[in-house]
């Protein structure tokens, strides 16, 4: 079965008698619903509700958690967690020599040497497993992993958006289990809850397809020269985009082309997502 070792990822451990209470009070993920064997997405937000750090979180024993994040932000993430720890009895550390391997398909665990493989809960219609253990004999197929993420509308920081520039709704954390709307307060919770209850989320992850090769990641999406979003990860003729769905809908209704750079694209909602294009949109001129 296909697999990839993600050499640009790292693990942070948080353990101790107060670990769960500490994390529950600052992260978007509802740890009350996190089961053993699951890896759920989440974020640590600014007080204004923007994503400062994104991750996948899983349980590691009775009083421990693992947070998988980008390797280049791991040290800053550790420092931020320690800043919030105060007197909580929780040990926080980046794990050395922690190798992250992901496999997918009906027999995804067959490609992993670690029998304690975790289900990546962001994927609804496909078995995706993650393991934290030994280095693989080869790196697998990282490009195939990117293609899989794109096809399933799974956005990650660095590749698809910049930290400090997106709300959880923008990157579908509200739909992938990365935000607990029934839990108590956490940093940035007021802004996120207001967006949820008022239905004001307008920037969303969409899947972009084209008849020709996509331009490079970061290319602006425009309608009549006016911006509606930007490309994230790209592979061949497909990519991920974060775009204003009201402006996209207005452009489609008006029969106007949406282009990435100079390449005409079609933008669609991931098949598993529950959100839809709004009925009330901005005017075609504004789009």
What value does the mean pLDDT take over residues 69-73? 97
pLDDT of 115 > 60? The answer is no
**Which parts of 97-140 fold into alpha helices (H)?**
none
Q: What is the pLDDT of residue 279?
A: 83
Give the integer Cα–Cα distance in Å for 79 and 177: 25
Residue 137 CB-density burial (10 A; 0-12 exposed, 13-18 middle, 19+ buried) = exposed
The predicted model scores a pTM of 0.93
Residue intervals of the chain classified under CATH 2.40.30 are 202-268
Write 112-115 long-range contacts (CB < 8 A, 24+).
Answer: 112/3
Return the exposure string of 163-189: e unless at least 16 CB atoms fall within 10 Å of the residue's CB, then b.
Answer: beebbbbbbbbbbbbbbbeebeebbbb
Q: Where in the chain is the domain with CATH 3.30.1360.120?
A: 3-194
The rounded distance, in Å, linking the Cα atoms of 204 and 216 is 20
How is domain 202-268 classified at the CATH fold level? Elongation Factor Tu (Ef-tu); domain 3 (2.40.30)
pLDDT for 287: 42
The answer to whether the CB of 21 falls within 8 A of the CB of 36 is no
Give the pLDDT mean for 117-130. 95
- The closest of 148, 125, 155, 171 to 240, measured between CA atoms, is 155
Could you tell me which CATH number the domain at 3-194 has? 3.30.1360.120
**pLDDT value, residue 108:** 57
Q: How far apart are CA 132 and CA 147, in angstroms?
A: 22
What is the band of 32 on the pLDDT scale with cuts at 50, 70, 90? very high
User: Is 226 a residue whose pLDDT tops 80?
Assistant: yes
Model pLDDT, residue 284 = 43
Residue 279 neighbours by CB under 8 Å, 6+ apart: none
Q: How far is residue 43's CA from residue 84's CA, in Å, rounded to a whole number?
A: 14
Please tell me what DSSP assigns to residue 73. Answer: G
Share of the chain above pLDDT 90, in %: 87
Count CB-CB contacts under 10 A for residue 63. 16
Contact in structure between 267 and 222 (CB atoms under 8 Å): no
Confidence band for 285, pLDDT divided at 50, 70 and 90: very low
- How confident is the model at residue 166, as a pLDDT? 98
8-state DSSP, 33: G
Sign of CA dihedral 245, 251, 253, 255: negative
d(CA 42, CA 134): 25
């Amino acid at each position: 079965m296909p697999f990839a070792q993600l050499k640009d990822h790292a693990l942070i451990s948080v353990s101790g008698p107060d670990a769960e209470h500490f994390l529950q009070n600052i992260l978007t993920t509802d740890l009350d619903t996190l089961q053993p064997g699951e890896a759920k997405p989440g974020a640590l937000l600014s007080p204004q509700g923007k994503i400062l750090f994104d991750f996948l979180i899983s349980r590691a024993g009775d009083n421990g958690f693992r947070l998988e994040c980008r390797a280049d932000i791991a040290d800053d993430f550790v420092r931020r967690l320690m800043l919030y720890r105060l007197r909580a009895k929780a040990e926080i550390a980046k794990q050395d020599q922690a190798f992250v391997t992901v496999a997918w398909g009906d027999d995804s665990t067959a490609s992993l040497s670690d029998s304690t493989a975790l289900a990546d809960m962001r994927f609804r219609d496909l078995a995706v497993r993650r393991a934290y253990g030994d280095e693989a004999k080869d790196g697998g197929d990282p490009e195939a992993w990117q293609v899989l993420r794109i096809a399933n509308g799974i956005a990650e920081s660095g590749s698809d958006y910049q930290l400090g520039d997106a709300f959880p709704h923008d990157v579908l954390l509200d739909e992938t289990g990365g935000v607990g709307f029934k839990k108590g307060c956490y940093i940035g919770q007021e802004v996120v809850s207001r967006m949820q209850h008022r239905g004001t989320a307008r920037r969303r992850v969409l899947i972009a397809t084209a008849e020709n090769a996509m331009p490079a990641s970061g290319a602006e999406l425009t309608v009549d020269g006016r911006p509606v979003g930007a490309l994230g990860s790209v592979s061949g003729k497909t990519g991920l985009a974060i775009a204003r769905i009201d402006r996209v809908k207005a452009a489609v209704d008006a029969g106007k082309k949406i282009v990435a750079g100079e390449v005409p694209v079609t933008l669609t909602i991931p098949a598993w997502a529950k959100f839809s294009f709004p009925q009330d949109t901005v005017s075609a001129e504004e789009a």
